[in-house]
Structure 1
């Protein structure tokens, strides 16, 4: 997947917004104000394409064991976030979408019930 495909897919999720809260190079996707995906645009330009996604800790370990291009979250909690290195190959677009969905769902699941009900 390229950056535009990732952006389009993330923005297709209900109540998702995008912004640059940290700097002009880190694109962040949020659901109701909570981060579920981060993309370093600078790394995409340098050929190190990747995306940080929230993940269930046990599932994160399974993914890291199965795929060399999925590693602990870069500059994130290593327990709850993975970085998918998309330029290294081996990750089908369907898997990337599935992991974006998982991240989105994890964030929504962690919200108070009242906030979840607004979705």
Structure 2
């Protein structure tokens, strides 16, 4: 197992997405990351270790849960479409990055066409 992922590292990853914002609508223990007002990640940053909820293709979600004990059905989320990933270092950082990108892109794909077009003008092709 590698070292736990720091709060700064995961926040930088999530906020690096085009038009990503964060807020705490559920209180100070959880940070929600959004694009165009739609949640793509939920970070339980006060947990030890932290965990993050990310949207995922249902088939891939099942595969990840089978391969990594630190990946579980999304806590307080639709368990078919969301995973909770424990950031204890047991899930490789490149995979955490890919899962965050996939979650963001799944949410972007569900946005209105006008919102997707506006995001493309932000300098990054998304969907």
SS at the partner of 1:39? strand
Deviation for aligned residue 1:48:
2.9
RMSD: 1.0
Runs of 4+ in structure 1 over 4 Å off: none
The structure that is helix-richer by fraction is 1
Deviation for aligned residue 1:93:
0.7
Structure 1 partner of 2:33: 29
Structure 2 partner of 1:52: 53
Structure 2 partner of 1:114: 114
Q: How many residues align?
A: 115
Contact 2:45 2:51 in 1 (8 A): no
Structure 1 partner of 2:65: 64
Q: Does 1:76 align with 2:80?
A: no
SS at the partner of 1:90? coil
- Give me the whole-angstrom Cα distance separating, in 2, the residues matched to 1:41 and 1:96: 15
Structure 1 partner of 2:122: none
SS at the partner of 1:42? coil
Unaligned runs of 5+ in 2: 120-127
Deviation for aligned residue 1:42:
2.4
Contact 2:34 2:40 in 1 (8 A): yes
- Give me the whole-angstrom Cα distance separating, in 2, the residues matched to 1:33 and 1:57: 23
- Give me the TM-score of the superposition, normalised by structure 1: 0.92
- Give me the whole-angstrom Cα distance separating, in 1, the residues matched to 2:49 and 2:23: 21
SS at the partner of 1:116? helix
Structure 2 partner of 1:85: 86
Structure 1 partner of 2:104: 104
